[in-house]
Amino acid sequence: MDQDGGRARHAGPAAGGRGGGEGARRAGPLPGVRRPERGDRGGERGDLRGPAGAAFGGGRAPGRAGRGKRGLCEALAAEAAAEVGRLAGQAAAALAAGQGLEAAELAIRAGLTQLGRGLLEPLLAADPGYRGPRTDCRSGHQAGFVSYRDKTIDTVLGPVTVRRAWYHCAQCGHGFAPRDAGLGVAGQTMSPGLAKMAARAGEAVPFTPGAALVAELAGITLTGRRLGRHAEADGRAAAAVIEAEAAAIAARTLVPLPPAVLPDKLYIAVDGTGVPMRTAETEGRPGKGEDGKARTREVKLVCVFSQATVDENGYPVRDPGSSSYLATFAPAAGFGTLMAAEARRRGAGHVRQLTILGDGAHWIWNLATAHFPEATQIVDLYHAREHLHDLGKLLAFMLGDQHQDWLAERSDELDAGDIDAITAAARVFPMTGTKAEALDTALGYFETNAPRMRYKHFRSCGLFVGSGAVEAGCKAVIGQRLKLSGMHWSQPGATGILTLRCQQASGRWEEIWQQPGDRTPAA
């Protein structure tokens, strides 16, 4: 791989695209020539749909050679003014001919997009990325200049071709263009702007309709497959960065600053849900399918949110916009590192009241105790009620027509947090054999979690006792995009899209996109 200009912050290269879209090998002009004449389109990809070539200026380009930046801008401005005049004339004629506003506005937009491409291409050409006869390679060797090569990049304005200096490192045995890293397109066929757009569409809706949206809204034609590949890869790169940061926080080499305004109560709500996978992803894993094979893999999700107030009935109210989400296929330990990092970033360790909400799953409480022993642990009341219903079913043959009354009394005891009363009432019945074992298991859930079920006390403290926030999150963040009918995911693909969706749902979309300007390569 050539020098990475990974898109998601300081992540490595997103592994999408194929072959990085390097232009065809060709002997370029000698170093020092500021603006090579416009060559053939060297991009090797066949899936470009936009009109080939810049909107204007093709034949006039050599005239700009040798001018300074200011001269170039002035020349472009003059050409653009002429082009805008032509567009205005066309639009005026369309309106006069009664073709309607839509025809006029779309024609103007298409024209302006072409115009923009005509501005961008010569501006990019102004720096061919020549860094001298030798320049540092990523691994600290000296790479030698080879030639100038064309690369076609798809941008929000359509395809543009950049000619840039190509270097080769003999030790590493690979080549790279330092200019690509500066532009954020190393190993990429899409500009950062277009990649972000593709990712936004790909996280929101399935890839084919996503590509149709991009075409209709932005006027850029992409295949659904290409859009998906890029969105997944950029999401994976973001996931890698988030994981690396979490590991650094766990190792205390990175200490996140708590938020400027600390919430009074912070919640960490944890849940898991199955995502349908391709057959190859679940092979050999035991599961719930009819043939005993797994059809899904579990995604673990955390939702961190704060709460400052209760409503007029004393029920807690989640602070609007305070939820952040993280999801991963990683086993419990890896998930725990991510969860802890996210919670610390949100102020865990500084807040007065930290609460961890979950269903009865052991791994959740093991992680809670390991990472935040000071936190209050609460079993989601609705899960506890489900378990109570199951207990009622188990005893139904003994309870007869008392079943509903018995359950209502136990439900009141559960709300009161009186787990001893529930177990005492259930143990009244003489059970033997498998039924006795089943009863022990059912009551074990309550006995093990009794301290996490002091609902009356928790409510008197104004705390949430339900993990509805994370369950709604599971549905919205995961279910509504990854569990649609007929969907089957690869784990890397699902990881990418999940990561993008979590960032979007957390209001942190911008954070995962590195600004290419921040990454000027060593000159």
Residues 446-505 that bind Zn ion (CB under 5 A): none
197 token code pair: 């757009």
Is 23 within 8 Å of 152 (Cβ atoms)? Answer: yes
Nearer to Zn ion, 73 or 172 (CB): 172
Least distance to Zn ion, CB of residue 138, Å:
7
Residue-wise DSSP of 405-419? HHHHHHHHHHHHT-H
Residues 144-203 that bind Zn ion (CB under 5 A): 169, 171-172
Residue 101 burial (CB count, 10 A): 10
Residues 39-68 that bind Zn ion (CB under 5 A): none
Residue 223 sits in the site that holds Zn ion (CB under 5 A)? no
Least distance to Zn ion, CB of residue 168, Å:
9
Q: Please tell me the distance from the alpha carbon of residue 112 to that of residue 219, in angstroms, as a whole number.
A: 11
Task: Name the residue among 270, 283, 238 with its Cα closest to residue 495.
Answer: 238
Nearer to Zn ion, 143 or 378 (CB): 143
Residue 334, classified by CB atoms within 10 Å of its CB into exposed (0-12), middle (13-18) or buried (19+), is middle
Task: Name the residue among 169, 160, 165 with its Cα closest to residue 194.
Answer: 160
Nearer to Zn ion, 127 or 136 (CB): 136
Residue 140, classified by CB atoms within 10 Å of its CB into exposed (0-12), middle (13-18) or buried (19+), is exposed
137, 304, 394, 407: residue in contact with Zn ion (rule CB under 5 A) = 137
Residues 364-423 that bind Zn ion (CB under 5 A): none
Least distance to Zn ion, CB of residue 299, Å:
39
Nearer to Zn ion, 171 or 490 (CB): 171
Nearer to Zn ion, 167 or 335 (CB): 167
Task: Specify the stretch interacting with Zn ion by CB under 5 A; choose among 20-28, 131-139, 187-195, 347-355.
Answer: 131-139
Q: Please tell me the distance from the alpha carbon of residue 455 to that of residue 380, in angstroms, as a whole number.
A: 10
Nearer to Zn ion, 45 or 141 (CB): 141
Least distance to Zn ion, CB of residue 145, Å:
14
Least distance to Zn ion, CB of residue 236, Å:
25
Q: Please tell me the distance from the alpha carbon of residue 215 to that of residue 121, in angstroms, as a whole number.
A: 22
Reduce the secondary structure of 64-133 to three states and give it as a string.
Answer: HCCCCHHHHHHHHHHHHHHHHHHHHHHHHHHHHCCCHHHHHHHHHHHHHHHHHHHHHHHHHHCCCCCCCC
Nearer to Zn ion, 45 or 174 (CB): 174
Task: Specify the stretch interacting with Zn ion by CB under 5 A; choose among 54-62, 134-142, 152-160, 367-375.
Answer: 134-142
CA triplet 53, 54, 58: central angle to 5 degrees?
Answer: 90
Q: How many CA atoms lie within 13 A of 327 on its CB side?
A: 36
Least distance to Zn ion, CB of residue 177, Å:
14
Least distance to Zn ion, CB of residue 239, Å:
28
Nearer to Zn ion, 144 or 334 (CB): 144
Least distance to Zn ion, CB of residue 174, Å:
7
Task: Name the residue among 63, 107, 68 with its Cα closest to residue 86.
Answer: 107
Q: Please tell me the distance from the alpha carbon of residue 271 to that of residue 332, in angstroms, as a whole number.
A: 11
139, 369, 402, 460: residue in contact with Zn ion (rule CB under 5 A) = 139
**Binding mask 104-123 vs Zn ion (x if CB under 5 A, - otherwise)?**
--------------------
Measured between alpha carbons, how far is residue 462 from residues 179, 318, 355, 426 in Å? 57, 11, 12, 30
Total residues interacting with Zn ion, rule: CB under 5 A: 6
The DSSP 8-state label assigned to residue 243 in this structure reads H
Task: Specify the stretch interacting with Zn ion by CB under 5 A; choose among 34-42, 139-147, 178-186, 345-353.
Answer: 139-147
The DSSP 8-state label assigned to residue 355 in this structure reads E
Least distance to Zn ion, CB of residue 31, Å:
20
Nearer to Zn ion, 1 or 523 (CB): 1
10, 141, 293, 318: residue in contact with Zn ion (rule CB under 5 A) = 141
Least distance to Zn ion, CB of residue 248, Å:
27
Task: Specify the stretch interacting with Zn ion by CB under 5 A; choose among 19-27, 140-148, 336-344, 352-360.
Answer: 140-148
Nearer to Zn ion, 168 or 483 (CB): 168
Is 261 within 8 Å of 346 (Cβ atoms)? Answer: no
Is 82 within 8 Å of 66 (Cβ atoms)? Answer: no
Is 442 within 8 Å of 368 (Cβ atoms)? Answer: no
Least distance to Zn ion, CB of residue 129, Å:
18
Nearer to Zn ion, 138 or 501 (CB): 138
Task: Specify the stretch interacting with Zn ion by CB under 5 A; choose among 132-140, 215-223, 351-359, 432-440.
Answer: 132-140
Binding site for Zn ion (CB under 5 A): 137, 139, 141, 169, 171-172
